[in-house]
Amino acid sequence: AGVIRIMVLFIMLLGTWFVMQTYFDHRWKVMTLRSWLGEVTAGVRMGQQPPRHKCGNQKSCPPNYFAFKIISGAANVVGPSICFENRILMSSMKNNIGRGLNIALVNGESGGTNPPSPHAQDINKLDAFLQEIKAGTIVLTASYDDPATKMNDKVRAHFVGLGSNHVKKLGFRDNWVFLGAKGLQNKSPFEEYIKNDRKTNKYDGWPEMLEMEGCAPKKMH
């Protein structure tokens, strides 16, 4: 009988130890997880989350530079958008885009904006619009659907003068995004072009959309 009581007592002590060990081990894990989450939450509250740059760009721009992002249209369904210094200048939501070329003008010194071009489909009005651009003006351009069918040599020459390297070969339903400036001495580094090619097109009859972001230098005296 004494041996049985000792065995029962030993089993009870062993069971108690196992329960307590499991409970405290679980409690320690829970408390550790809560503490870790608390530290992460506190870090977010203290502003340690990744910063959001202007126009949603991946990097911020240094002083004396403007942040921009230009997105071309996707086929003839999704319209283009132009962002400059965290301001949406043109987009479907603003209802100020059209098929062809979408052009926004910005003062190269102050960053102030002019009304976007309403002449994307009228080649003669577009010619006059481009001809009247003042020196030092930044020109942001995004294509939508078909930017080139109505484009003539005079209009192409205007964009060459703004720093474009690809406008001369822009063809039917090609996609094009471009940032240049009136009075630019060299070719602009801010230009992307993709040809309409049924072998490589992402959409049926159109290439994939283009997205370009960067930092454009201010015009300095």
Position 10 scores a pLDDT of 64
| Distance separating alpha carbons of residues 67 and 167, to the nearest angstrom | 23
Position 27 scores a pLDDT of 43
- Collapse the DSSP code of 186 into the 3-class scheme (helix H, G, I; strand E, B; otherwise coil) and give the result: coil
Position 17 scores a pLDDT of 57
Q: Which of 190, 212, 217 is nearest to 82 (CA)?
A: 212
State the first-to-last Cα distance of the chain, in angstroms, to the nearest integer. 105
Q: Report DSSP state, residue 10.
A: H
Phi, psi (rounded to 5 degrees) for 144: -150, 125
Phi, psi (rounded to 5 degrees) for 104: -120, 140
Strands 137-144 and 100-107: antiparallel
Position 164 scores a pLDDT of 97
Run means of pLDDT, 10 residues per run, the chain, 221 residues: 65 61 45 40 52 91 97 94 97 92 94 74 88 95 93 96 96 97 94 95 93 91 43
| Numbers of helices and strands, H then E, in the chain | 3, 8
Position 219 scores a pLDDT of 80
Q: Report DSSP state, residue 74.
A: B
